[in-house]
Amino acid sequence: MQFSEDRLHIRRTWEDKEPLLKRLNRIEGQVRGLNQMIENDRYVGDEIQQASAIVAAVREVALMLIAQQLEKVAGSQRKDAREEMRAVLRLALPRCPDAQIADPRDLAQ
């Protein structure tokens, strides 16, 4: 965990990166599939189902990123690390008022 330009940067191991990259590669394939479906004038219900699967998969990647950051920040006593985590959560949960975003140390338990 390192701060650069007042932002928290996580140094991921290969074990941390691998599941993210596998999911992103799968999403890339899903997007290519949707592209082909549209080019081939497939049934719109199938296209919508594929698009929904892509959205869900991207959401899952975002949750994985948040989980990784929580693991790194939860034990930190640095106030700036906790504030950065709150900022990340606000990005992920834009409709959530600031008052409802807990301290990351509480979320990791």
d(CA 68, CA 21): 14
Q: How far apart are CA 84 and CA 2, in angstroms?
A: 12
Per-residue confidence at 99, pLDDT binned at 50, 70, 90?
A: very low
- Which of 46 and 95 is assigned the larger pLDDT? 46
For residues 54 and 46, the answer to whether their CB atoms sit within 8 Å is no
pLDDT score for 18: 96
User: Does pLDDT of 10 surpass 50?
Assistant: yes
Cα gap 31→36, rounded to integer Å? 9
Task: Assign 77 to helix, strand or coil.
Answer: coil
At residue 2, the pLDDT reads 55
Element (H, E) at 4: strand 2-4
Give CA–CA dist 81/95, Å, rounded.
22
Domain positions in the chain are: 6-107
Confidence grade of residue 109 (pLDDT, cut at 50, 70, 90): very low
Q: Model-level pTM?
A: 0.70
pLDDT value at 69 more than 50: yes
Architecture of domain 6-107: Up-down Bundle (1.20)
